[in-house]
Amino acid sequence: MTDVMRQPESAARERGRVPTPPAVVAAAPSGGIELRSVRKSFGSTPAVDLPALSVPAGSLTVLVGPSGCGKSTLLRMIAGLETPEAGHIHIDGQDITAARPGERGVAMVFQDFALYPHMTVAANVGFGLVLEAKHAGRGALPRAEISRRVRDVCDLLGLGDKLGRRPRELSGGERQRVALARALVRRKPVLLLDEPLSNLDAGLRAQARAELIRLHREVAGTFVLVTHDQAEALSLGTRVVVLRAGRLEQAGTPEEIWRCPANLFVARFLGSPAMNIVADSRGRLLGWRPADAIALGVTSPPAAPTDAGEVFEGEVDVTEFVGDRRMAHCVGDHGPWSVEFPAATPVAVGQRIRVLVPAGSLHHFDAQTGTRL
């Protein structure tokens, strides 16, 4: 079965005879996903419990949350590798809750890439197509067509000269791209990615992020990506879904959830350094990001709280140099908070400082429920 795959040259020959259009991976797949009251638990611990969640077609939706929040289980349920205990999953309006993984219009990139060690890159990428051809019967998907598609997707991902290699002869970044190629070549409307960047080293990860965004634009499919890294979620996603303990905390564009975190959990989860949370005099919780504070000189006249914003006063406990910025961790009257200044700002340990947080940068939360007010 792998004759074609073992000889990438045959693909080249085929291309020489028949002029083919430039690498087109998928025409215009749709791939909107609807989850309705999906529930799954492991033993007595609920892993996922979602009344409703929709993943818009063509989006790059990132499922993010701390470990154990159910994001991987959710992804695996969409893939068909786990079965929900209750609820329904629809892709493009079709109920695929009970469909077999290979027949529900999804492809998947695994965290450890899961490349078949005994197969070449070409055979790895073409494996799904060869099976598809076999199951569909004679003539449905000719070998030449398989070779061409493998070749095209590998060219798109810069693997054109690696077709004959085996996974162990590839670098981490190349393996990741083979995993992507294997998922993309099947032209499924939905691509699921389980922490695809976590097995890459830091330098490569930034590059892979940009490549992933470009890829999403080029193949125009629906990508659902799982990560525990909030920065990755914000930078990659066109839509971010924050999960905790199997429940939906907030879903929206990265800007929406950054500007208007729906509750304390989301507010604290996003951003590094995390948002300051301080109780105010009226028994509510005030949140603000360290970078949004404006330093007021200690010598300047004390400003009373105005409509323009809130003033916080505290003593500098620790300072951190972070390139062009300087972090000051302070002990204030209502608890610890941190601020970020331009590096040139003179702040010394033990110094009392006052900062103004503009009204527009303040977030108010209910002290009891943690919901945004």
Tell me how far, at minimum, the Cβ of 216 lies from other proteins, in Å: 19
Of 122, 120, 119, 116, residue with least CA distance to 11: 122
Residue 137 is classified by DSSP as -
Q: Which is closer to other proteins, CB of 17 or CB of 100?
A: 100
Tell me how far, at minimum, the Cβ of 105 lies from other proteins, in Å: 12
Candidate segments 49-57, 78-86, 139-147, 265-273, binder of other proteins by CB under 8 A: 78-86
Q: CA–CA separation, 3 vs 123, rounded Å?
A: 9
**Tokens linked to 12:** 């080249």
Integer CA distances (angstroms), 145 to 129, 137, 142, 230, in order: 10, 15, 5, 40
Identify residues 175-204 at the interface with other proteins (CB under 8 A). Answer: 182-183, 186
**160: exposed, middle or buried (Cβ count in 10 Å: 0-12, 13-18, 19+):** middle
Q: Which residue do the tokens 């998907």 mark?
A: 141
Find the binder of other proteins among 13, 135, 214, 364 (CB under 8 A): 135
Candidate segments 53-61, 79-87, 155-163, 267-275, binder of other proteins by CB under 8 A: 79-87
79 binds other proteins (CB under 8 A): yes
Which residues have C-beta within 8 Å of that of residue 180, sequence separation ≥ 6?
109, 157, 196, 215
Candidate segments 85-93, 108-116, 152-160, 336-344, binder of other proteins by CB under 8 A: 108-116
Q: Which is closer to other proteins, CB of 42 or CB of 116?
A: 116
On whether the CB atoms of residues 96 and 105 are closer than 8 A, the answer is yes
Q: Which is closer to other proteins, CB of 179 or CB of 328?
A: 179
Q: Would you mind telling me the total number of residues written for the chain in this entry?
A: 373
Find the binder of other proteins among 26, 107, 157, 277 (CB under 8 A): 107
Tell me how far, at minimum, the Cβ of 180 lies from other proteins, in Å: 13
26 binds other proteins (CB under 8 A): no
On whether the CB atoms of residues 107 and 186 are closer than 8 A, the answer is yes
Of 22, 80, 34, 56, residue with least CA distance to 220: 56
H or E segment and range at residue 322: strand 309-322
Task: Using CB under 8 A, count the residues that bind other proteins.
Answer: 26
Identify residues 270-299 at the interface with other proteins (CB under 8 A). Answer: none
Find the binder of other proteins among 32, 46, 102, 160 (CB under 8 A): 102
Could you give phi then psi for residue 189, rounded to 5 degrees?
Answer: -65, -25
169 binds other proteins (CB under 8 A): no
Q: Which residue do the tokens 């193949």 mark?
A: 219
Q: Which is closer to other proteins, CB of 42 or CB of 210?
A: 42
Q: CA–CA separation, 231 vs 227, rounded Å?
A: 10
Candidate segments 125-133, 151-159, 292-300, 322-330, binder of other proteins by CB under 8 A: 125-133
141 binds other proteins (CB under 8 A): no
Find the binder of other proteins among 85, 132, 145, 211 (CB under 8 A): 132
131 binds other proteins (CB under 8 A): yes
114 binds other proteins (CB under 8 A): yes
Dihedral angle of Cα 154, 158, 160, 165, to the nearest 10 degrees: -90
Binding residues vs other proteins (CB under 8 A): 1, 79-81, 101-103, 106-108, 110-112, 114-118, 127-128, 131-132, 135, 182-183, 186
